[in-house]
Structure 1
Amino acid sequence: MTPVIILRPEPGASESAARARRLGLAPRLCSLFEARPIAWEAPPREDFDALLMTSAQAARLGGAQLARYHGLPAYAVGSATARAMAEEGFQNIVHGDLDGSAIAARITADGRHRLLHLGGTTVAPIAPGPLNIQRVPVYTIGEKPEAGLHALLEPDAVLLVHSPRAGSRLAALVDPLQRRDLHIIAISPAALEACGQGWASGEAPGQPDDERMLALAVRLCE
């Protein structure tokens, strides 16, 4: 059976693998990165009228200080982020399936002005429009040794790339001769572009989420 290689950090990697198995796919885990919490200073709640998270890792790794913001209107990019926020006690979460700029436009339309964005040390740019956004990193993503990746790269394998950073690292690890027998499914056009050229195929779903990536993988593996 064609292997589907999942490169994202835990716990997302295991979640993707479980979804893949339910779809009849053969997932192989080879995380290139790991998420780690960092110390952060929580700004005063009264300085904001909305909270945004663009990654589920912010909810999972933000720690006890997240509770300070439970009363704020909460926004998330992606259903996985919204679920992680709900697990940490946030309620009435509004989520969008596009990107940070799209949800920022929604927040503005809802009449919010002062936004706290909790995320990683590196995040995709957000067009703020009229919003005043304060970004506070609560976690970082560090590289893991890529031991085992090349053993999984059999012909026609499908690689799931969940971020531009993962795409860039994959491009550095896999030489052009290997690429021509491997397929890329990336979470976004930016992540796909970061993978470079020369792959057997490359595509991204219309909306950036894991379920849609796996639906594309099912089609490739049929």
Structure 2
Amino acid sequence: MTTMLVTRPEPDAQSTLLRLEALGITGLVAPLMTRLTLDSSLPPQDGFAAMAVTSANALRALDDRGALEHYIHLPVFAVGDRTAWEARQMGCTDVVSADGTATELVNALVRARLDGPVFYPAGKHMSHDLGKSLAPFGLMVVTTRVYDMVAVDALPEPVIRQLADGSIDATLLYSRRTAEIFVELLEGKLDHKERSASTMLCLSEAVAEPLISAHFNRIGLADHPSEEAMMALALAFTREQTAP
């Protein structure tokens, strides 16, 4: 049976693990980051036309602080279907899903012709400046960093050994920062041959770039930046490995 390393933070790692198991793939969970809710000053709830969400972690952080209920009445523009689903699960009723990228989220917000500013609860390490992207369209964004994804100090030694000896058939990586942390934690742990033999299944080209620079040469890219596309990639890889 194929074994894949899941590097996502919890609780997303468990969701991916269950989906892999449904495909007949053994999942091994080793999150590379943990979420820390920040005690940042939140803006007043009135006056916003919408809330933009690029990660369910933003909603979880607001919920941790008991603040989500203050913004739940706002239309929510989510970066993709999974984030939109999470928003609905947490009580948001007016939810629009973009196509899984920040660019599509910007397009969705522009098309909506909002009559007020957008509240953007974000992570400390933002991969995209939504306010800067929307400024040319005359749309104001109030960005508040509500959570931080903190890198773990080390990969478990058994995981490193399994990566080295090929017991892990592929590693799933969903963000560029996760890929950067993965490379950093394996510095000096795998030799060139072991890196070259390790398969990395990545959400996008941006995620793959740090891996390629670190000489992880066996890279698979999802057709679309979504969990569904990652599962399709994982299944296709498994079928290749088990084909007669």
- TM, length-normalised to structure 2: 0.85
Q: 1:29-61: per-residue Cα shift (whole Å, max 9, x none)? A: 111111121112221223321101100111122
Report deviation, 1:200.
4.4
2:168 matches 1:159: no
Q: CA RMSD in A?
A: 1.7
Rounded to whole Å, the distance in 1 between the matches of 2:238 and 2:111 is 42
Rounded to whole Å, the distance in 2 between the matches of 1:100 and 1:84 is 17
- Give the aligned length: 222
SS of structure 1 residue aligned to 2:119: strand
Equivalent pair of 1:74/1:94 in contact (CA under 8 Å): yes
Rounded to whole Å, the distance in 1 between the matches of 2:193 and 2:218 is 14
Larger proportion of helix: 2
Equivalent pair of 2:40/2:144 in contact (CA under 8 Å): yes
Equivalent residue number for residue 242 of structure 2: none
2:120 matches 1:120: no
- TM, length-normalised to structure 1: 0.93
Q: 1:128-162: per-residue Cα shift (whole Å, max 9, x none)? A: 24121121111111122312330331426211011
Tell me the amino acid that sits aligned with residue 25 of structure 1. I
Equivalent pair of 1:171/1:196 in contact (CA under 8 Å): no
Tell me the amino acid that sits aligned with residue 150 of structure 1. I
Rounded to whole Å, the distance in 2 between the matches of 1:119 and 1:80 is 17
Gapped regions of structure 1 (runs ≥ 5): none
Gapped regions of structure 2 (runs ≥ 5): 240-244
Report deviation, 1:194.
2.2
Tell me the amino acid that sits aligned with residue 112 of structure 2. D
Rounded to whole Å, the distance in 1 between the matches of 2:40 and 2:100 is 27
How high is the sequence identity, in percent, across the aligned residues?
Answer: 23
State which structure, 1 or 2, has the greater radius of gyration over its C-alpha atoms.
Answer: 2
- After superposition, residues 1-222 of structure 1 pair within 5 angstroms as 1-63=1-63, 64-112=66-114, 113-125=116-128, 126=130, 127-128=133-134, 129-130=136-137, 131-144=139-152, 145-148=154-157, 149-153=159-163, 154-155=165-166, 157-174=169-186, 175=190, 176-197=192-213, 198-222=215-239
Q: 1:95-153: per-residue Cα shift (whole Å, max 9, x none)? A: 11231221111111111151111121112114224121121111111122312330331
Q: 1:62-105: per-residue Cα shift (whole Å, max 9, x none)? A: 22211111221111012221122112211120011231221111
